[in-house]
Amino acid sequence: MNYPTPHINAKPGDFGQTVLMPGDPLRSKFIAENFLENATLVNNVRGVHGYTGTYKGVKVSVMASGMGMPSIGIYSWELFNAFEVENIMRIGSAGAVQENINLYDIVIAQGACTDSRWAEQYHLAGTFAPIADFNMLQTCVETAKEMGAHYHVGNVLSSDRFYGDDDDMQGGWIANNGWQKMGVMALEMEAAALYMNAARCKKHALAICTISDHVLRHEFTTAEERQNSFTQMMELALNTAVKLEK
Inter-CA distances, 49 with 23, 42, 171, Å: 11, 8, 32
Whether the bond between 130 and the residue before it is cis, its omega within 30 degrees of 0, is no
| DSSP assignment letter at 48 | -
User: Residue 105 catalytic?
Assistant: no
Instruction: Tell me how far apart the alpha carbons of residues 77 and 151 are, in angstroms, rounded to a whole number.
Output: 28
204 touches 88 (CB < 8 A): yes
Helix (H, G, I), strand (E, B) or coil at 37: strand
Distance CA(242)–CA(158), nearest Å, equals 27
* Rounded-to-integer distance, Cα 198 and Cα 67, Å: 18
Where does 36-175 show beta strands of DSSP type E?
A: 37-43, 50-55, 58-63, 87-96, 106-114, 151-158
100 within 8 A of 108, measured Cβ to Cβ: no
Catalytic residue among 14, 105, 133, 213: 213
231-244 and 134-147 helices, crossing angle to 10°: 130
Beta bridge partners of 156: 112, 186
Query: Phi, psi (5° rounding) for residue 195?
Result: -65, -40
**What is the DSSP secondary structure assignment for residue 30, as one 8-state letter?**
H
Catalytic residue numbers read 213
